Amino acid sequence: MAFLRTLFTLVAGVSTLLFAGCALSQTPVERHGALRIEGGRVVDQSGALVVLRGMSLFWSQWGGQFYNAEAVAHLKSDWNVTVVRAAIAVDHDGYLANPEQEMARTETVIEAALAEGLYVIVDWHAHEPHPEAAAAFFARIAAKYGQHPNIIYEVYNEPLNTHGWAEVVKPFHMVVIPAIRAVDPDNLIIAGTPSWSQDVDIAAADPLPFSNVAYTLHFYAGTHRQELRDKALKAMELGAPLFVTEWGTSEASGNGILDEAETRLWWDFMETHGISHLNWSITDKDETSAALMPGASGQGGWTDDMISPSGQLVRRMLREMNP
Q: Is residue 118 part of a domain?
A: yes
Q: Is residue 158 part of a domain?
A: yes
Q: What is the pLDDT of residue 24?
A: 58
pLDDT (tens digit per residue) in 8-25: 334 344 343 333 444 558
Q: Is residue 25 part of a domain?
A: no
Q: How many domains does the chain have?
A: 1
Q: Is residue 174 part of a domain?
A: yes
The CATH number that applies at residue 273 is 3.20.20.80
Reference 204, options 228, 230, 238, 172; nearest CA is 238
Q: Residues with catalytic annotation?
A: 158, 246
Q: Are 275 and 243 in contact (CB under 8 A)?
A: yes
Mean local confidence (pLDDT), 44-63: 98
H or E stretch at 26: none
Q: Is residue 126 part of a domain?
A: yes
Q: Is residue 13 part of a domain?
A: no
Q: Is 227 helix (H, G, I), strand (E, B) or coil?
A: helix
pLDDT (tens digit per residue) in 89-143: 999 999 999 999 999 999 999 999 999 999 999 999 999 999 999 999 999 999 9
pLDDT (tens digit per residue) in 272-282: 999 999 999 99
Q: Is residue 18 part of a domain?
A: no
Q: What is the pLDDT of residue 47?
A: 98
The burial class, CB within 10 Å (0-12 / 13-18 / 19+), for 248 is buried
Q: Which domain holds residue 53?
A: 45-321
pTM value > 0.85? yes
The number of angstroms, rounded, from the C-alpha of 68 to the middle of its chain's C-alpha atoms is: 17
H or E stretch at 43: strand 41-43
**Average per-residue pLDDT for the chain:** 94
Q: Is residue 240 part of a domain?
A: yes
- 203/243 Cα distance (integer angstroms): 13
φ, ψ dihedrals at 295, nearest 5°: 90, 0
